[in-house]
Chains A and B, each alone.
Chain A
Amino acid sequence: MLELAVERAPERVYGFSLAQALAERDGATRLVAHGTLYKALDRMRRAGLLAAEWEDAEAAAEEGRPRRRVYEVTAEGRRLLADAPQPAPRPGWGQAPA
Protein backbone atom coordinates (compact mmCIF):
# COMPACT_ATOMS: atom_id res chain seq x y z
CA MET A 1 0.00 0.00 0.00
CA LEU A 2 2.86 2.34 0.89
CA GLU A 3 4.57 1.39 -2.34
CA LEU A 4 1.50 2.31 -4.37
CA ALA A 5 1.17 5.62 -2.57
CA VAL A 6 4.82 6.44 -3.35
CA GLU A 7 4.43 5.40 -7.00
CA ARG A 8 1.50 7.77 -7.39
CA ALA A 9 3.26 10.76 -5.77
CA PRO A 10 2.98 13.74 -6.10
CA GLU A 11 -0.66 12.84 -6.72
CA ARG A 12 -2.27 12.18 -3.33
CA VAL A 13 -4.14 8.94 -2.91
CA TYR A 14 -7.49 8.26 -1.24
CA GLY A 15 -9.32 5.11 -0.16
CA PHE A 16 -11.10 4.16 -3.35
CA SER A 17 -8.14 5.01 -5.61
CA LEU A 18 -5.93 2.75 -3.47
CA ALA A 19 -8.49 -0.07 -3.62
CA GLN A 20 -8.55 0.22 -7.42
CA ALA A 21 -4.75 0.36 -7.68
CA LEU A 22 -4.37 -2.70 -5.42
CA ALA A 23 -6.84 -4.68 -7.53
CA GLU A 24 -5.07 -3.66 -10.77
CA ARG A 25 -1.63 -4.56 -9.42
CA ASP A 26 -2.71 -7.97 -8.11
CA GLY A 27 -4.90 -8.72 -11.10
CA ALA A 28 -7.83 -9.19 -8.71
CA THR A 29 -11.41 -9.06 -9.92
CA ARG A 30 -12.68 -7.75 -6.58
CA LEU A 31 -11.80 -4.55 -4.76
CA VAL A 32 -10.24 -4.85 -1.32
CA ALA A 33 -12.83 -4.86 1.50
CA HIS A 34 -13.60 -1.59 3.28
CA GLY A 35 -12.64 -2.99 6.68
CA THR A 36 -9.29 -4.35 5.50
CA LEU A 37 -8.38 -1.18 3.61
CA TYR A 38 -9.28 1.42 6.22
CA LYS A 39 -7.92 -0.58 9.14
CA ALA A 40 -4.56 -0.84 7.35
CA LEU A 41 -4.57 2.89 6.48
CA ASP A 42 -5.47 3.78 10.06
CA ARG A 43 -2.64 1.66 11.45
CA MET A 44 -0.10 3.18 9.06
CA ARG A 45 -1.33 6.67 9.90
CA ARG A 46 -1.03 6.02 13.63
CA ALA A 47 2.46 4.57 13.08
CA GLY A 48 3.49 7.81 11.34
CA LEU A 49 4.04 6.20 7.92
CA LEU A 50 1.19 8.08 6.29
CA ALA A 51 -0.14 11.59 6.78
CA ALA A 52 -3.85 12.12 6.24
CA GLU A 53 -5.96 15.21 5.68
CA TRP A 54 -9.46 15.96 4.49
CA GLU A 55 -9.69 17.65 1.12
CA ASP A 56 -11.32 21.01 0.65
CA ALA A 57 -15.09 20.81 1.14
CA GLU A 58 -15.80 23.27 -1.67
CA ALA A 59 -13.82 21.28 -4.22
CA ALA A 60 -15.75 18.15 -3.31
CA ALA A 61 -19.07 19.99 -3.39
CA GLU A 62 -18.31 21.31 -6.88
CA GLU A 63 -17.95 17.73 -8.08
CA GLY A 64 -21.09 16.72 -6.20
CA ARG A 65 -19.48 14.10 -3.97
CA PRO A 66 -18.46 13.73 -0.30
CA ARG A 67 -15.03 14.90 0.85
CA ARG A 68 -12.20 12.42 0.49
CA ARG A 69 -9.51 11.79 3.03
CA VAL A 70 -6.23 12.01 1.16
CA TYR A 71 -3.01 10.31 2.18
CA GLU A 72 0.62 11.09 1.63
CA VAL A 73 3.62 8.93 2.53
CA THR A 74 5.74 10.57 5.22
CA ALA A 75 9.53 10.67 5.29
CA GLU A 76 9.40 7.86 7.85
CA GLY A 77 7.25 5.79 5.49
CA ARG A 78 9.66 6.35 2.58
CA ARG A 79 12.62 5.40 4.72
CA LEU A 80 10.91 2.20 5.84
CA LEU A 81 10.03 1.35 2.25
CA ALA A 82 13.62 1.93 1.10
CA ASP A 83 14.98 -0.30 3.88
CA ALA A 84 12.50 -3.10 3.27
CA PRO A 85 13.94 -6.13 1.41
CA GLN A 86 12.64 -6.51 -2.13
CA PRO A 87 10.39 -9.56 -2.54
CA ALA A 88 11.89 -12.32 -4.72
CA PRO A 89 10.09 -12.82 -8.05
CA ARG A 90 7.79 -15.83 -8.03
CA PRO A 91 8.97 -18.70 -10.24
CA GLY A 92 6.73 -19.37 -13.23
CA TRP A 93 5.37 -22.75 -14.26
CA GLY A 94 8.16 -25.22 -15.08
CA GLN A 95 10.85 -23.04 -13.51
CA ALA A 96 12.81 -24.22 -10.51
CA PRO A 97 12.93 -21.76 -7.59
CA ALA A 98 16.33 -20.07 -7.18
Chain B
Amino acid sequence: MTSGRPWGVRLALWWAGVYTRTAPAQDARDRRAEVAADVADEVRAAEVESWAISRRIAGRVLRGMGSDVLWRLSVERSPGRARWHLDHPATLLGALAVLLFPVVVLGDRLRAAVAVRPGWALNLVHSAEVLLSAMILAIAAAALLRRIVDRPVVAAVARRTLVHSVRRSAGLLACVCWAAAALWRFVPGSLGGLAGAAWAAFGLSLVVWAATAVWGWGRRRGERRTS
Protein backbone atom coordinates (compact mmCIF):
# COMPACT_ATOMS: atom_id res chain seq x y z
CA MET B 1 0.00 0.00 0.00
CA THR B 2 2.71 2.40 1.09
CA SER B 3 4.94 1.62 -1.86
CA GLY B 4 2.25 3.00 -4.24
CA ARG B 5 2.55 6.52 -2.83
CA PRO B 6 4.94 9.03 -4.37
CA TRP B 7 8.16 9.27 -2.34
CA GLY B 8 7.41 12.91 -1.50
CA VAL B 9 4.22 11.86 0.29
CA ARG B 10 6.11 9.18 2.21
CA LEU B 11 8.75 11.75 3.17
CA ALA B 12 6.11 14.24 4.41
CA LEU B 13 4.32 11.57 6.48
CA TRP B 14 7.61 10.23 7.85
CA TRP B 15 8.78 13.70 8.91
CA ALA B 16 5.39 14.48 10.49
CA GLY B 17 5.73 11.23 12.44
CA VAL B 18 9.24 12.20 13.58
CA TYR B 19 8.53 15.65 14.94
CA THR B 20 5.18 14.74 16.50
CA ARG B 21 6.56 11.60 18.15
CA THR B 22 5.80 11.65 21.90
CA ALA B 23 4.07 15.05 21.56
CA PRO B 24 0.72 15.39 23.41
CA ALA B 25 -1.54 12.80 21.76
CA GLN B 26 -4.24 15.13 20.43
CA ASP B 27 -1.77 17.64 18.95
CA ALA B 28 0.24 14.85 17.35
CA ARG B 29 -2.83 13.15 15.83
CA ASP B 30 -4.19 16.44 14.47
CA ARG B 31 -0.91 17.51 12.90
CA ARG B 32 -0.24 14.13 11.27
CA ALA B 33 -3.78 13.95 9.90
CA GLU B 34 -3.57 17.52 8.60
CA VAL B 35 -0.32 16.86 6.76
CA ALA B 36 -1.74 13.61 5.35
CA ALA B 37 -4.81 15.47 4.03
CA ASP B 38 -2.63 18.26 2.60
CA VAL B 39 -0.32 15.99 0.63
CA ALA B 40 -3.27 13.90 -0.59
CA ASP B 41 -4.92 17.11 -1.85
CA GLU B 42 -1.70 18.21 -3.51
CA VAL B 43 -1.31 14.89 -5.32
CA ARG B 44 -4.95 15.02 -6.47
CA ALA B 45 -4.61 18.60 -7.70
CA ALA B 46 -1.28 18.05 -9.46
CA GLU B 47 -1.18 17.88 -13.22
CA VAL B 48 2.42 16.81 -13.38
CA GLU B 49 4.18 13.49 -13.16
CA SER B 50 4.84 11.69 -9.88
CA TRP B 51 8.53 12.68 -9.63
CA ALA B 52 7.72 16.39 -9.98
CA ILE B 53 4.96 16.18 -7.33
CA SER B 54 7.35 14.45 -4.96
CA ARG B 55 10.00 17.10 -5.51
CA ARG B 56 7.46 19.84 -4.80
CA ILE B 57 6.20 18.17 -1.64
CA ALA B 58 9.78 17.51 -0.47
CA GLY B 59 10.53 21.21 -0.98
CA ARG B 60 7.56 22.15 1.21
CA VAL B 61 8.70 19.68 3.86
CA LEU B 62 12.32 20.90 3.88
CA ARG B 63 11.43 24.60 3.90
CA GLY B 64 9.06 24.07 6.83
CA MET B 65 11.32 21.95 9.04
CA GLY B 66 12.46 24.90 11.15
CA SER B 67 8.84 25.90 11.82
CA ASP B 68 7.95 22.30 12.65
CA VAL B 69 10.67 22.17 15.29
CA LEU B 70 9.54 25.54 16.70
CA TRP B 71 5.94 24.28 16.79
CA ARG B 72 7.06 21.21 18.71
CA LEU B 73 8.98 23.38 21.18
CA SER B 74 5.89 25.57 21.68
CA VAL B 75 3.77 22.48 22.34
CA GLU B 76 6.30 21.39 24.96
CA ARG B 77 5.62 24.58 26.93
CA SER B 78 2.12 23.36 27.86
CA PRO B 79 1.52 22.45 31.53
CA GLY B 80 2.67 19.06 32.75
CA ARG B 81 5.12 18.42 29.91
CA ALA B 82 8.27 18.84 32.02
CA ARG B 83 7.02 16.18 34.42
CA TRP B 84 6.07 13.92 31.50
CA HIS B 85 9.57 14.23 30.08
CA LEU B 86 11.13 13.31 33.40
CA ASP B 87 8.96 10.17 33.44
CA HIS B 88 9.87 9.43 29.80
CA PRO B 89 13.36 10.92 29.31
CA ALA B 90 14.15 9.00 26.10
CA THR B 91 12.78 11.74 23.79
CA LEU B 92 14.78 14.57 25.35
CA LEU B 93 17.94 12.50 25.72
CA GLY B 94 17.65 11.22 22.16
CA ALA B 95 17.11 14.72 20.75
CA LEU B 96 20.08 16.10 22.68
CA ALA B 97 22.29 13.17 21.66
CA VAL B 98 21.36 13.79 18.00
CA LEU B 99 22.25 17.47 18.45
CA LEU B 100 25.50 16.61 20.23
CA PHE B 101 26.73 14.38 17.41
CA PRO B 102 27.38 17.07 14.74
CA VAL B 103 28.73 19.44 17.42
CA VAL B 104 31.29 16.84 18.58
CA VAL B 105 32.27 16.04 14.97
CA LEU B 106 32.65 19.76 14.21
CA GLY B 107 34.68 20.24 17.41
CA ASP B 108 37.08 17.46 16.42
CA ARG B 109 37.52 18.94 12.93
CA LEU B 110 38.16 22.41 14.34
CA ARG B 111 40.61 21.12 16.97
CA ALA B 112 42.60 19.40 14.25
CA ALA B 113 42.52 22.49 12.04
CA VAL B 114 43.41 25.11 14.66
CA ALA B 115 45.69 23.13 16.95
CA VAL B 116 48.19 26.00 17.10
CA ARG B 117 45.91 28.99 17.70
CA PRO B 118 42.34 28.37 18.90
CA GLY B 119 39.81 30.84 17.52
CA TRP B 120 36.36 32.02 18.53
CA ALA B 121 34.67 29.28 16.50
CA LEU B 122 36.38 26.60 18.55
CA ASN B 123 35.35 28.32 21.80
CA LEU B 124 31.77 28.43 20.54
CA VAL B 125 31.80 24.73 19.69
CA HIS B 126 33.40 23.93 23.07
CA SER B 127 30.61 25.85 24.82
CA ALA B 128 27.96 23.99 22.81
CA GLU B 129 29.58 20.65 23.67
CA VAL B 130 29.70 21.46 27.37
CA LEU B 131 26.15 22.82 27.39
CA LEU B 132 24.64 19.83 25.57
CA SER B 133 26.61 17.30 27.60
CA ALA B 134 25.66 19.01 30.86
CA MET B 135 22.00 19.02 29.79
CA ILE B 136 22.10 15.28 29.03
CA LEU B 137 23.68 14.53 32.39
CA ALA B 138 21.26 16.80 34.25
CA ILE B 139 18.17 15.31 32.59
CA ALA B 140 19.38 11.76 33.14
CA ALA B 141 20.14 12.51 36.79
CA ALA B 142 16.77 14.23 37.33
CA ALA B 143 14.88 11.36 35.67
CA LEU B 144 16.76 8.80 37.72
CA LEU B 145 16.20 10.72 40.92
CA ARG B 146 12.50 11.04 40.17
CA ARG B 147 12.27 7.33 39.52
CA ILE B 148 14.03 6.44 42.75
CA VAL B 149 12.02 8.89 44.84
CA ASP B 150 8.57 8.36 43.30
CA ARG B 151 8.50 4.68 42.46
CA PRO B 152 10.11 1.64 43.99
CA VAL B 153 12.58 0.27 41.43
CA VAL B 154 11.46 -3.32 42.02
CA ALA B 155 7.84 -2.46 41.19
CA ALA B 156 8.96 -0.68 38.02
CA VAL B 157 10.92 -3.75 36.93
CA ALA B 158 7.97 -6.03 37.72
CA ARG B 159 5.61 -3.91 35.65
CA ARG B 160 7.73 -4.28 32.55
CA THR B 161 9.63 -7.28 31.37
CA LEU B 162 13.22 -7.55 32.54
CA VAL B 163 14.56 -7.27 28.99
CA HIS B 164 12.62 -4.07 28.39
CA SER B 165 14.04 -2.56 31.57
CA VAL B 166 17.57 -3.64 30.65
CA ARG B 167 17.19 -2.06 27.20
CA ARG B 168 15.98 1.24 28.63
CA SER B 169 18.74 1.28 31.24
CA ALA B 170 21.38 0.49 28.61
CA GLY B 171 20.06 3.33 26.39
CA LEU B 172 20.19 5.73 29.32
CA LEU B 173 23.71 4.60 30.26
CA ALA B 174 24.89 4.98 26.64
CA CYS B 175 23.66 8.59 26.54
CA VAL B 176 25.23 9.42 29.90
CA CYS B 177 28.57 7.77 29.04
CA TRP B 178 28.74 9.52 25.71
CA ALA B 179 28.07 12.88 27.33
CA ALA B 180 30.61 12.12 30.07
CA ALA B 181 33.25 11.14 27.50
CA ALA B 182 32.57 14.39 25.62
CA LEU B 183 33.03 16.39 28.84
CA TRP B 184 36.24 14.60 29.84
CA ARG B 185 38.01 15.82 26.73
CA PHE B 186 38.47 19.11 28.63
CA VAL B 187 40.15 17.44 31.61
CA PRO B 188 43.99 17.42 31.62
CA GLY B 189 45.77 14.26 30.50
CA SER B 190 46.17 12.62 33.92
CA LEU B 191 42.47 11.73 33.98
CA GLY B 192 42.42 10.61 30.37
CA GLY B 193 41.81 7.04 31.52
CA LEU B 194 38.37 8.05 32.77
CA ALA B 195 37.43 9.21 29.29
CA GLY B 196 38.58 5.82 27.98
CA ALA B 197 36.43 4.08 30.58
CA ALA B 198 33.44 6.24 29.60
CA TRP B 199 33.89 5.35 25.94
CA ALA B 200 34.20 1.66 26.87
CA ALA B 201 31.00 1.84 28.95
CA PHE B 202 29.30 3.63 26.08
CA GLY B 203 30.30 0.86 23.65
CA LEU B 204 29.23 -1.87 26.04
CA SER B 205 25.87 -0.31 26.82
CA LEU B 206 25.26 0.26 23.11
CA VAL B 207 25.88 -3.44 22.42
CA VAL B 208 23.52 -4.44 25.26
CA TRP B 209 20.89 -2.00 23.98
CA ALA B 210 21.16 -3.33 20.42
CA ALA B 211 21.00 -6.98 21.58
CA THR B 212 17.91 -6.41 23.74
CA ALA B 213 16.29 -4.32 20.99
CA VAL B 214 16.78 -7.13 18.47
CA TRP B 215 15.50 -9.67 20.99
CA GLY B 216 12.39 -7.57 21.72
CA TRP B 217 11.75 -7.03 18.01
CA GLY B 218 11.98 -10.78 17.37
CA ARG B 219 9.60 -11.50 20.23
CA ARG B 220 7.02 -8.93 19.05
CA ARG B 221 7.23 -10.35 15.55
CA GLY B 222 6.66 -13.85 16.89
CA GLU B 223 3.66 -12.66 18.91
CA ARG B 224 2.15 -10.96 15.86
CA ARG B 225 2.52 -14.15 13.85
CA THR B 226 0.86 -16.32 16.48
CA SER B 227 -2.03 -13.85 16.91
CB-based contact A34/B61 at 8 Å: yes
A13, chain B: closest CB distance, angstroms: 12
Give A residues with C-beta under 8 Å from B.
14-17, 19-20, 30-39, 42, 54, 65-69
CB-based contact A36/B64 at 8 Å: yes
Given contacts A36-B63, A69-B30, contact A31 B37 (CB under 8 A): no
A56, chain B: closest CB distance, angstroms: 13
Contacts of B31 in A (CB 8 A): 38, 42
Give B residues with C-beta under 8 Å from A.
12, 16, 30-31, 33-38, 40-42, 44-45, 56, 59-68, 70-71
26 residue pairs from A and B, CB less than 8 Å apart? A14-B41, A16-B45, A19-B38, A31-B42, A31-B56, A31-B60, A32-B60, A33-B60, A33-B62, A33-B63, A34-B35, A34-B64, A36-B63, A38-B31, A38-B34, A38-B64, A38-B71, A39-B68, A39-B70, A42-B31, A42-B71, A66-B40, A67-B37, A69-B30, A69-B33, A69-B34
Contacts of A37 in B (CB 8 A): 64
Total A-B residue pairs with C-beta atoms closer than 8 Å? Answer: 78
Instruction: Please report the C-alpha to C-alpha distance between residue A65 and residue B67 in the assembled complex, in whole angstroms.
Output: 26
Contacts of B61 in A (CB 8 A): 33-35
CB-based contact B37/A35 at 8 Å: no
Given contacts A31-B42, A37-B64, A38-B31, contact A14 B37 (CB under 8 A): yes
Closest to A35 in B: B64
Closest to B70 in A: A39
Contacts of B16 in A (CB 8 A): 34
CB-based contact A35/B68 at 8 Å: yes
Instruction: Please report the C-alpha to C-alpha distance between residue A30 and residue B71 in the assembled complex, in whole angstroms.
Output: 22
A47, chain B: closest CB distance, angstroms: 12
Contacts of B65 in A (CB 8 A): 35
